[in-house]
């Protein structure tokens, strides 16, 4: 039986269009098997715009296609306020989650940070490891 | 007996703003709010002037002053301290032969009965009387102009030499020191816990609507709620439980607003959930978290004067107003 993988993504302080695109690209490349579990750590997020919110929805859609689950990890007060305002907190609450004790592997924060293309090309993302 | 009032609006001096964002925004909101931000349909300054007129005080001067300046000088006030705006206002009223000056600094909201306070002042024959609440002094005082006119030095310095009496006030006082205090004030006004009455017509129990406000038939409005002049509540919105939507706001389709204060000219986008918050311009202050966020997306929260509602055309069409036009 194929085992599911857990990917922990630490989102940057400003989660806008650029960071959202990067998140999408990197998550797609990291789904190595079915039932991926994605934990979005929003503890550092101070500012998130509608492109960022759209990216979270896309992420959820992509993961759902592969019978996986998306869960929020820690959420900063600013991000929580934005998620409540747009009612996205409810959407993610309803999404199936995985046991808290599941081993998790963190993508380097730079992976989804607002940076130049040259930095992106260096590929600072760690490969998700099977749990 | 001739009485005049000097109202001072505290303003923050340049360079004094705190580096902390939330604090900065609080300061900016409070400085704006006294003179230009409406709470339940009227600014605090306008309400005060109306109140004073009700008490028969027609002469009124509004000055701005450094927020850090003490309301009244201490007994050891240094020589040479000149508060030019205040000095000029006092001089003008002394020349006009005014008997008593009511000094008010618009830094707190209170329900003081000015008539009663002036009566107390005259009956006790004191030269200077300052209001005092259970939690400390209030920036409201009455002074005899004759006591000031006799002084050789500046009026401010003369004030420091006067014997002061305290007028005990046990009514409603809101210090407006925290951002949440503004929300509490609007709420207390709506629930009738203070004299800050909504400026509008009470269309049904606990619902006040100012002139030109529109509420879509499909919107659910449960009081206490105030909808300000020219504000529009679009289809399928739910407005409930202590909400003040001030002048020229637009709450777009399907949005829920609960226990919140929406300041004038604010646009709230489609299908939002606004609870226990203050929304002003493109900023949202979440009271329970004590956090402020700025939103750059005009589709979510924006200044109503520049936003475009994509659904308003549809709503108008469905209501048949387009055809009528």
Distance from CA of A127 to the nearest CA of B (A): 34
Q: Do B300 and A78 touch (CB under 8 A)?
A: no
Helices (H), chain B: 21-35, 44-54, 84-95, 114-124, 145-149, 155-160, 179-190, 312-319, 321-324
Q: Tell me the chain B residues in contact with residue A84 when contact means C-beta distances shorter than 8 Å.
A: 273, 275, 286
Which of A23-27, A35-39, B80-84, B223-227 has the least mean pLDDT?
B80-84
Please give the structure tokens belonging to residue A74: 């820690």
Residues counted in chain A: 131
Smallest CA-to-CA distance from B183 within B11, B37, B23, B299 is with B37
ipTM surpassing 0.90: no
Contacts of B255 in chain A (CB under 8 A): none
Contact A50 B275 (CB under 8 A): no
Residue numbers of chain B with a pLDDT score lower than 70: 12-33, 75-83, 306-325
Tokens of B212: 């030109």
How many inter-chain contacts (A to B, CB under 8 Å) are there? 38
* CB contact (8 A) between residue B297 and residue A50: yes
Residue A107 has pLDDT above 70, yes or no: no
The pLDDT value given to residue B212: 95
pLDDT band at residue A28 using 50, 70 and 90 as cut-offs: confident
Which residues, listed in sequence order, are joined to residue B292 by a DSSP beta bridge?
B285
Residues in B touching A93 (Cβ below 8 Å): none
B167 within 8 A of B126, measured Cβ to Cβ: no
Nearest residue of chain A to residue B294 (CA atoms): A47
Tell me the pLDDT tens digit for each residue of A78-103: 999 999 999 998 887 554 444 555 44
Residue A67 and residue A1 in contact, taking contact as beta carbons nearer than 8 Å: no
Give the gap in angstroms from C-alpha B253 to the nearest C-alpha of chain A: 13
pTM greater than 0.80? yes
Q: CA-to-CA distance for B107 and B263, rounded, in angstroms?
A: 19
Sort out which chain A residues have CB atoms less than 8 A from B257's CB and list them.
none
Q: How far apart are CA B37 and CA B35, in angstroms?
A: 6
CA distance to partner chain B, nearest, from residue A99 (Å): 28
């Amino acid at each position: 039986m194929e085992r599911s993988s857990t990917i922990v993504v630490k989102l940057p302080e400003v989660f806008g269009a650029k960071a959202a695109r990067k998140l999408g690209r990197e998550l797609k490349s990291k789904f190595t098997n079915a039932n991926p579990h994605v934990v979005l750590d929003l503890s550092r997020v101070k500012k998130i715009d509608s492109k960022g919110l759209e990216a979270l929805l896309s992420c959820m859609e992509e993961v759902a296609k592969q019978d996986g689950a998306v869960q929020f990890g820690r959420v900063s007060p600013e991000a929580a306020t934005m998620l409540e305002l747009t009612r996205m907190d409810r959407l993610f609450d309803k999404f199936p989650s995985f046991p808290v004790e599941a081993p998790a592997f963190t993508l380097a924060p730079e992976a989804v940070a607002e940076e130049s293309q040259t930095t992106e090309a260096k590929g600072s993302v760690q490969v998700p490891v099977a749990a | 007996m001739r009485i005049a009032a000097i109202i001072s609006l505290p303003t923050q001096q340049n360079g004094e703003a705190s580096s902390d964002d939330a604090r900065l925004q609080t300061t900016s909101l409070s400085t704006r709010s006294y003179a230009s931000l409406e709470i339940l349909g009227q600014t605090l300054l306008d309400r005060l002037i109306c109140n004073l007129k009700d008490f028969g005080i027609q002469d009124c001067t509004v000055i701005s002053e450094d927020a850090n300046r003490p309301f009244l000088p201490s007994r050891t006030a240094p020589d040479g301290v000149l508060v030019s705006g205040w000095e000029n206002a006092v001089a003008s009223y002394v020349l006009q032969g005014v008997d008593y000056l009511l000094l008010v600094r618009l830094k707190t909201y209170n329900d003081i009965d000015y008539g009663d306070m002036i009566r107390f002042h005259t009956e006790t024959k004191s030269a200077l009387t300052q209001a005092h609440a259970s939690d400390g002094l209030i920036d409201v005082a009455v002074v005899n102009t004759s006591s000031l006119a006799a002084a050789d030095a500046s009026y401010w310095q003369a004030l420091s030499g006067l014997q002061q009496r305290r007028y005990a006030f046990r009514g409603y006082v809101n210090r407006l020191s925290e951002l949440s205090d503004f929300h509490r004030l609007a709420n207390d006004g709506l629930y009738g816990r203070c004299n800050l009455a909504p400026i509008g017509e009470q269309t049904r129990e606990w619902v006040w609507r100012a002139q030109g406000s529109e509420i879509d038939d499909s919107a659910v409005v449960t009081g206490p709620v105030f909808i300000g002049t020219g504000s529009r509540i679009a289809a399928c919105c739910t407005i409930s439980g202590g909400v003040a939507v001030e002048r020229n706001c637009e709450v777009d389709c399907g949005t829920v607003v609960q226990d919140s204060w929406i300041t004038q000219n604010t646009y709230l986008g489609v299908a939002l959930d606004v609870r226990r918050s203050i929304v002003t311009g493109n900023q949202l202050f979440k009271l329970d978290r004590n956090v402020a966020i700025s939103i750059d997306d005009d589709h979510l929260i924006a200044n109503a004067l520049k936003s475009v509602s994509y659904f308003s055309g549809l709503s108008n069409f469905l209501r048949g107003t387009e055809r009528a036009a």
